[in-house]
Amino acid sequence: MHDHKHDNIIWGATLVTTATMLIVAMSAFAKWLGEEYHPVELVFYRNLIVLMAVSMYFTATGKWDAIKTQRMPSHIGRALVGTLGIILGIWSAIILPLADATTLSFTTPLFVVLLSYPMLKEIVGVRRYAAVIIGFLGVLFIAKPSGEDIPLFGIIVGLGGAFCTALVQIYLRDLGKTESTMTTVFYFMFWGAIASALVVPFVWTGPKLSALPFILGMAAAGGAQQIIKTKGFSLAPVSLMTPLTYTSLIWAVMIGMIVWHDFPDWQTYLGAAIIIASNLFILWREQEKSKRG
Domain map of the chain by residue range? 4-292
Q: 12: pLDDT confidence band, cut at 50, 70 and 90?
A: confident
Question: Do residues 137 and 274 lie in contact, with contact meaning Cβ atoms separated by under 8 Å?
Answer: yes
Q: 138: pLDDT confidence band, cut at 50, 70 and 90?
A: very high
Q: Evaluate if residue 147 carries a pLDDT over 60.
A: no
Q: Is 158 exposed, middle or buried (0-12, 13-18, 19+ CB in 10 A)?
A: buried
The three state secondary structure string of 66-81 is HHCCCCHHHHHHHHHH
Q: 66: pLDDT confidence band, cut at 50, 70 and 90?
A: confident
Largest Cα span, the chain: 62
Helix (H) or strand (E) holding 263: none
| pLDDT the model gives residue 176 | 79
Q: Report, as an integer, the average pLDDT of 13-32.
A: 95
Helices 39-61 and 212-235: crossing angle, nearest 10°?
60
| pLDDT the model gives residue 291 | 74
| pTM for the structure as a whole | 0.91
For 124, residues 6+ apart whose C-beta sits below 8 A from its C-beta are 113, 116, 117
Q: Evaluate if residue 43 carries a pLDDT over 70.
A: yes
Other CB atoms within 10 Å distance of the CB of residue 181:
16
Q: If you average pLDDT over every residue of the chain, what do you get?
A: 90
Nearest to 197 by CA among 29, 27, 31, 40: 40
Q: Report, as an integer, the average pLDDT of 177-195.
A: 90
| pLDDT the model gives residue 5 | 67
